Structures are given as C-alpha cells and as structure tokens.
Chain A
Amino acid sequence: MTDLPVTGGPAGAGDTGVVRGLPVTATIPEGHVRMPDTGPPPAPPPDEPAGATSSRRGDRLFRWLVTGSGAFVVALIGAIGLFLLVQAIPSVLVDQDNFLLSRNFDTEDPANLRFGILDLLLVTVEVSVFALVLAMPVGLGIALFLTQYAPPRLARPFGYLIDVLAAVPSIIFGLWGILVLAPVLEPVAGWLQAHLGGFFLFAPGNSGIAGATVFTAGIVLAVMILPIITSITREVFERTPRTHVEAALALGATRWEVIRIAVLPFGRSGYISASMLGLGRALGETIALTIILAGVQTPFSGSLFDGGATFASKIALSFAELNNDLSAGAYIAAGLVLFVLTFAVNALARAVIARSGAVA
C-alpha cells in the first residue's frame, strides 16, 4: 500500500522543468513511507529548550528573508508585464495601422505612427522554427552520444566541447555567420533555389545582400541553441535509472534498444522541454540576427532566402536612436509580443512535461 511506484520517472518534473526526477537510489524497504524527492526536507527541527528563542528568531528572520526573495521575483515579473504595458498602450492606441496585421513599422513621426507586427512575427517564427528543426535531431544525437556511446573517459571532455559552444557570445556567432558561413552557404542556397524554388520556403528571396537571409540566420541559430538542447537532454539521459537500463540489458536488448525502451521514455519530456527552451532562446536572440539579416523594404514572402527583421533585431536596430516615448512605445509593444511569445513557448514546454509526468 505504502510503497511508492519505483520509478525514477519524470513524476513531479512539472514544476521546475528538468531538475527533478532524480533516480531513487537508496534501497527502501517496503512499508516504509518515504518522503518524495521533490518534497520538503523531512522532519521539522526539534524544539530545543536551551537557546530556543534565539534560534527561533534566527529561523524566523531567515524564513522571511528567503520567502521575501521568492515574493520579490514574482512581483518583478508582474512588474515587467505591467510596465511594458504602460509604455506600450499609448503608442498602440495612436497607431494608424492595425497593430497585429500591418507589415509596416514606421515610427519616424510620433504624430503619425504606422506599425504592425505581422512581418516581425513571421520572420521570428520562421527563423526560430527552422533553427529548431535543424538543432533538435542533432541535439538528441549529441546527448545520446555523450551519455550512451562515447567512452566514459572521453564523455567529459567531449561534453565540455559542447559547453564551450554555449560560452561563445552570440555576437561572435553573428559575425562568423555573415562573414564566414554565409559565403560558404551560397552554393547550397543557390542549388535549393534552382531545384526546389517552386516551394515557397526555397523560392528566391528578397534579401539584397548575399547570404543575409533567414537561411543563414537559422543555421547560425541552430548552432547557438544546440548546447542548450544538448546539455539539458544529456543531464536527463544521465539520470536514467540504472535499474531500467539493466532491466533492458537483461532482456537481451542491444545498445540502441536500451536507449529506445529505457533512456528515451525516461528522458523524453526533458528533451522536449530542452528543445522548447532552445526555441525560446531562438525567438529572442538579438544580436546575431541583427548582424546577419539584411534590412529589406518588401514584405516577407515566407522564403528562407528573404531578409527582414525579427522582433528582437528590429528593436535592437532602431531603439538607440529613439528620442520620444511614443515611438519607443511602438517597439516596447513589439517587445511585449515577443515576451508573450516566449511565455507561450515556456508554458507549452511545461504542459508537455506535466502531461508526460502524469502518464508515468
């Protein structure tokens, strides 16, 4: 009755993402009620008569301090949304265009603001999803390689290599992307346009500058989000309970089959949430895209070979020169949409985890 399901599974992984779900390692006799991993520390400290008042005062003070910090973070995010709204609403109200459907972003004249987010949204989503599609399978492969295939002695230095990728600042990726990678990608881009140009993704685009396209940007973004996906997925895979791996091995599973029946089911929600985090990072990436994407005058056609601007790159490019609150408000409104977008992606990631956690 009292024994817990002996899964180290993702149960309870819903609240902080992937850090939970540690495998249960201790041997627990049946009938012993055990605190869940995610629960509070086991027993309240015993009341100690000697010096009890001072220790209790210390306890109360400390509790207030840490609880206050928690409350502060909650209030902070609430404030973020609120203040962004306060700044954005006046501009949106005087917007001469439809904020959601317009493809213009003209904030030159504060008395005649014409701006909408449609193009920004389309470019942002396309470049991020393209990056995610490239990075997800590679990230999964790397995580499996590091946890299941690489010789244990090499797994650590190899993993460190991937971490180095995360430490490279995005501005450097951006410069590399436009100056070094883009010329190399040109023939590939040309081939795709020549042979698959009928499909809108590969249609010749509007970017006037060779390589300053969603295509290049997406590939660079994929490289940038790879370490995020890899490191979290790897961590989750490493936590695959040994008992599950051994159970699979004892059934006569090959290495790949062990992965399929023990590692992947255990790590799937972690992998998905890692990918979502990667997507969130891609959606908000600023400087690399500011550097790579060519500014264009024509609307976004959906082609990977278009230029354009994402929310973040648009804001970064224009904001420094702003000198009035109404124009700034237009960009803040765009920033708010980006905020909501990343929020939604995060929420989705959490939902995925919660659902898979419920199944296990």
Chain B
Amino acid sequence: MAKRLDLKDVDIYYGSFQAVDGVTLSIPPNSVTAFIGPSGCGKSTVLRALNRMHEVVPGARVEGEVLLDGEDIYAPNVDPVSVRRTIGMVFQRPNPFPTMSIRDNVVAGLKLQGVKNKKVLDEVAERSLRGANLWNEVKDRLNKPGGSLSGGQQQRLCIARAIAVQPEVLLMDEPCSALDPISTLAIEDLIANLKKQYTIVIVTHNMQQAARVSDQTAFFNLRATGEPGRLVEIGDTEKVFSTPTEKATEDYISGRFG
C-alpha cells in the first residue's frame, strides 16, 4: 500500500510571503523520513503541503510538484479531499473528536466513506487499534469518549484513526511534543512497526527521536530571519548525524544553534 513521494522544486507561499523555497526531495515507500530544523524553518509547512492541509490557511499556495507515485497531488483535476484521504496525518496535539466514543473516533473516516456495516466497522476498529498498540488498553471501554484517555493514549487513538482508512502515506507533525517520555517511547515503537505498511514522514524537534526512528533525515533551515525556509541537506539518518555535508547541519545537530 505504501507509495513514494517526490517533491520537485516546491515553493510555498502564504499570500505574498514566501515560507519555503525550492525544496526537492524523494521519500521512498516503507521508510521513515524525519524533517528536522529550527523553529520557523518551514518543515511543518512542507509536511502540511504533502496532503494539502496548508490550504486551510487562506491565501496559502504551492508552486512546483508534489508527486505521489508519479501523480501530482496539485494537478487541477485532483480533489484535495481525496489527497487527504490517501495521505493521512497525525497532529502535534492529540485531537480525538470529543463527542465521539473511542470506537467511533477510529472508524470516523470509514463512516464518511459510507461504510455502515457494523461488523466491518468493528473489525476495522480492532485492527486499527491493534495496529496503534492501543487495543489492549481500550478494548473494554470502546464506547467511552475519546477524551477520557490519557494524552499518550489519545495520540495513539489518533494514529489508529489515521490508519483505519488505510492511507498510503502517514504524515506526523511533531506527534510526541505534547507527550511524556513513556508515551513518546510507545509512539516511537509504533512508528517502527507502521513502517512495514506505510510511508511515514515525521516532523520532530527532538534530534534523538529523529535518530531513533527515521531511515533518512532532511534538515531544513533559514538563510536568515525573514527569508524563506529551505532544505539544507537530506540523506541517510546515520550519515546526516555522523558526517553531515553541510556546516549548518553539523552546527544544528551538535546543538550549536537552534
């Protein structure tokens, strides 16, 4: 199911402000790619452009090409809704739907697509919750509201919800930044498992996390304040962390700035 993503010379604008300049990179299927870099460098913006979530902000637009297995997700005949259906996303803060039960949260996407068969929905709910390593913790209270879970559990619930619709790619925008270390560890383990089925892109502020979970790492940076963010370098995680080609990357990774 996993598919590859290719970005070709992607510029991102908010109105007249250019947030990201000329990003070109490839994300192979069944891999984990980490986006790292200082605050405001555009890494989250790039991530959100991968499933057209940035369009929520009025005036946001993308130039260049974002190809999912060769199909441009910005082609005029492509519906952003179907892009998001295909490329799932997990957010910085867990955001289960507060009025829905745990089970309904997981199958929310399927219900949208018109799946009504209770048996199918129950199966998917269980499979997805198992996939998100949450099943054992919640199997006895599937009808409780999603908000009743702890933060770490909520985030895994959101992951379950995202994989329930069987996307090709899973985008994660600092998924652990609101979680405690133990919950973080649980999510990181989960990411390693999910890689078998999905292509994963994760934005993180935490460099150890990038080193732990990702296969390749992309480092973003600003040339100067007010300038657009850009991709400084991308490569195998091991290599980026041990022998980065760019000075800026080395400075950032060694904690000299950022």
Question: Which residues from B are CB-within-8-Å of A261?
Answer: 97, 100, 108, 112
Chain B, range 98-116, C-beta contacts under 8 Å to A = 98-100, 108-109, 112-113
Q: Which of A7, A9, A247, A252 contacts B91 (CB 8 A)?
A: A247
* Chain B interface bracket (under 10, 10 to 19, 20 to 34, 35 or more): 35 or more
A6, A31, A242, A250 pick with most chain B CB within 10 angstroms: A250
Question: Once the chains are docked, how many angstroms separate the CA of A31 from the CA of B151?
Answer: 9
Are B154 and A6 closer than 8 Å at their CB atoms?
yes
- Check: B61 CB closer than 8 A to any chain A CB: no
Are B112 and A253 closer than 8 Å at their CB atoms?
yes
Interface string of A1-39 (1 = CB under 8 A from B): 101011111000000000000000001111100000000
Question: Once the chains are docked, how many angstroms separate the CA of A290 from the CA of B99?
Answer: 44
Question: Once the chains are docked, how many angstroms separate the CA of A245 from the CA of B86?
Answer: 17
Chain A, range 237-256, C-beta contacts under 8 Å to B = 241-254
A3, A31, A262 pick with most chain B CB within 10 angstroms: A3
Are A246 and B93 closer than 8 Å at their CB atoms?
no
Q: A265-B99, A359-B99 are in contact. Are A251 and B151 (CB under 8 A)?
A: no
Question: Which residues from B are CB-within-8-Å of A311?
Answer: none
Identify the closest chain B residue to A241 (Cβ): B95
Which segment, of B50-58, B68-76, B186-194, B214-222, faces chain A?
A: B50-58
Question: Which residues from A are CB-within-8-Å of B151?
Answer: 3, 6, 30
Question: Which residues from A are CB-within-8-Å of B58?
Answer: 151-153
Are B88 and A247 closer than 8 Å at their CB atoms?
no
With an 8 Å Cβ cutoff, the count of chain A residues facing the other chain is 36
- Check: B147 CB closer than 8 A to any chain A CB: yes
- Check: A257 CB closer than 8 A to any chain B CB: yes
Minimum C-beta distance from B183 to chain A (A): 7
- Check: A209 CB closer than 8 A to any chain B CB: no
Minimum C-beta distance from B110 to chain A (A): 9
Minimum C-beta distance from A338 to chain B (A): 36
Are A250 and B162 closer than 8 Å at their CB atoms?
yes
Q: A30-B151, A244-B98, A252-B85 are in contact. Are A6 and B93 (CB under 8 A)?
A: yes
Question: Once the chains are docked, how many angstroms separate the CA of A301 from the CA of B112?
Answer: 47
- Check: A266 CB closer than 8 A to any chain B CB: yes
- Check: B148 CB closer than 8 A to any chain A CB: yes
Question: Which residues from A are CB-within-8-Å of B95?
Answer: 6, 241, 243-244, 246-247
Q: Which of B93, B112, B154, B158 contacts A252 (CB 8 A)?
A: B112
A244, A247, A248, A262 pick with most chain B CB within 10 angstroms: A247
Question: Once the chains are docked, how many angstroms separate the CA of A249 from the CA of B154?
Answer: 18
- Check: A360 CB closer than 8 A to any chain B CB: yes
Are B99 and A251 closer than 8 Å at their CB atoms?
no
Which segment, of B23-31, B134-142, B172-180, B224-232, faces chain A?
A: B172-180
Question: Which residues from B are CB-within-8-Å of A31?
Answer: 180
Identify the closest chain A residue to B89 (Cβ): A250
Are A262 and B97 closer than 8 Å at their CB atoms?
yes
Question: Once the chains are docked, how many angstroms separate the CA of A151 from the CA of B94?
Answer: 29
Question: Which residues from A are CB-within-8-Å of B113?
Answer: 252
Identify the closest chain B residue to A262 (Cβ): B97
- Check: B82 CB closer than 8 A to any chain A CB: yes
Interface string of A129-157 (1 = CB under 8 A from B): 00000000000000000000001110000
Question: Once the chains are docked, how many angstroms separate the CA of A153 from the CA of B15?
Answer: 13
Are B84 and A251 closer than 8 Å at their CB atoms?
yes
Are A251 and B109 closer than 8 Å at their CB atoms?
yes
Question: Which residues from B are CB-within-8-Å of A265?
Answer: 97-100
Question: Which residues from A are CB-within-8-Å of B53?
Answer: 246, 249-250
Q: A6-B151, A30-B151 are in contact. Are A246 and B162 (CB under 8 A)?
A: no
Chain A, range 220-277, C-beta contacts under 8 Å to B = 241-254, 257, 261-262, 265-266
B56, B99, B154 pick with most chain A CB within 10 angstroms: B99
Are B84 and A30 closer than 8 Å at their CB atoms?
no
Are A251 and B88 closer than 8 Å at their CB atoms?
yes
Question: Once the chains are docked, how many angstroms separate the CA of A27 from the CA of B51?
Answer: 23
Instruction: Other than A251-B84, A251-B88, A252-B165, give 9 A-B pairs with Cβ distance below 8 A.
Output: A5-B147, A6-B94, A30-B180, A243-B95, A247-B95, A247-B158, A247-B161, A250-B51, A251-B112
A-B contact pairs, 22 of them (CB 8 A): A5-B98, A6-B94, A6-B96, A8-B98, A9-B98, A27-B92, A30-B150, A30-B180, A152-B58, A243-B93, A246-B56, A246-B89, A246-B91, A247-B91, A247-B97, A250-B88, A251-B108, A252-B84, A252-B113, A254-B81, A265-B97, A359-B99
